[in-house]
Chains A and B, each alone.
Chain A
């Protein structure tokens, strides 16, 4: 398997995360933008750490500690990688 891209979560003081009843809002202080996200983005966000570089595989392992993951491992990894890519475009995570 080829080497996966590593990401680091934006610092805690860079965002405000506010769960509502049906979605989660993430306010990104550096850009002043509000992002409306749904599962699994808030879970991925919570599983990451500003101090640790994580790839999709490591994120999946962390998620598996808290959630029952019913998708095949490879599908799950690909889905998480796609979400990490989107989150990087929004400035919520940075490529390490």
Chain B
């Protein structure tokens, strides 16, 4: 027997609208609190449905265990415990974007904007791209997103997807030290991704979530190494970005045209850094040196 979701919420993040249903109230209440400053999306046609269902018939009440499902699903997604319900909902939304979005070239990258130009940062999980974007977002930059950068297929501009910033492990303390506690989500310990705590982007990031920017700089950050800087050729940037895109193949020729334009017009650097402060200083220097 499948229990129909009884708690629902519709959220709009950037250009995408999600209808989220849950068998439990708590994840929906947490989402409603953290997304309270986002535009009201009730009644909008949803692009995606995300459902948090009990993993088995009794798992709604007994050691509650969540199975993430929706329009696009992964057969081997592991169930999660109810205290991690907020993370399950966020992962569900990411999964729908990654598997289903076709209106932009979707890059697994963080991005921030200043003076109408975008800085895009891509790298593996743990590279520091998310924390660096969150820190820049508190220091005069507009946070466009910590997880996905949306590359417009016609204009070549980068568009925001400013969902909650997903802070992991040591990044949690870094951001707790500099933002209002009201902007932090509940701490979630020992998830499959380590300790997680969400951060609500600043109000301007949310208010301007429909506003794109021309890409000006592409960085491949790597946290935990001595400070180093290496120019990245267009071929390497192209190859790494195709690996960082979840829909490059699905988009076909428009995706090829958008990505080749992006790498041909955007200078790229690989940066290694030992700390957030060192990275921020380097980013400021690189940004100031742009033509």
Q: Which residues of A contact B (CB under 8 A)?
A: 16, 18, 20-23, 25, 27, 29, 32, 34, 36
Contact = CB atoms under 8 A, between A and B. Distances in A.
Nearest to A20: B234
Contacts of A34: 242, 256
Contact of A22 (B235, B253, B257): B235
A27 B242 CA distance: 13
A8 to B, nearest CB: 23
Contacts of A18: 256, 260, 264
A16 B235 CA distance: 16
Nearest to B261: A18
Contact of B235 (A21, A27, A29, A32): A21
A29 B238 contact: no
B234 to A, nearest CB: 4
Interface in B236-250: 236, 238-239, 242, 249
Contacts of B256: 16, 18, 25, 27, 34
A16 B239 CA distance: 17
B233 A21 contact: yes
B272 to A, nearest CB: 21
Nearest to B252: A32
Given A20-B235, A23-B235, A32 B260 contact: no
19 contacts: A16-B253, A16-B257, A18-B256, A18-B260, A18-B264, A20-B234, A20-B260, A22-B233, A22-B234, A23-B234, A23-B235, A23-B238, A27-B256, A29-B253, A32-B249, A32-B253, A34-B242, A34-B256, A36-B238
B263 interface: yes
Nearest to A29: B253
Interface of B is mostly: helix
A91 to B, nearest CB: 15
A92 B1 CA distance: 53
A22 B268 CA distance: 13
Contact of A27 (B233, B239, B253): B253
A34 B234 CA distance: 15
Given A34-B242, A36-B239, A21 B234 contact: yes
A23 B235 CA distance: 6
Contacts of A21: 233-235
B156 to A, nearest CB: 14
A20 B253 contact: no
B235 A36 contact: yes
A16 B261 CA distance: 13
B260 A25 contact: yes
B233 to A, nearest CB: 4
Given A20-B234, A25-B256, A32-B252, 20 more contacts: A16-B253, A16-B256, A16-B257, A18-B260, A20-B233, A20-B260, A20-B264, A21-B235, A22-B233, A22-B234, A22-B236, A23-B233, A23-B234, A23-B235, A25-B260, A27-B256, A32-B249, A34-B242, A34-B256, A36-B239
A22 B264 CA distance: 11
Interface string B94-132: 000000000000000000000000000000000000000
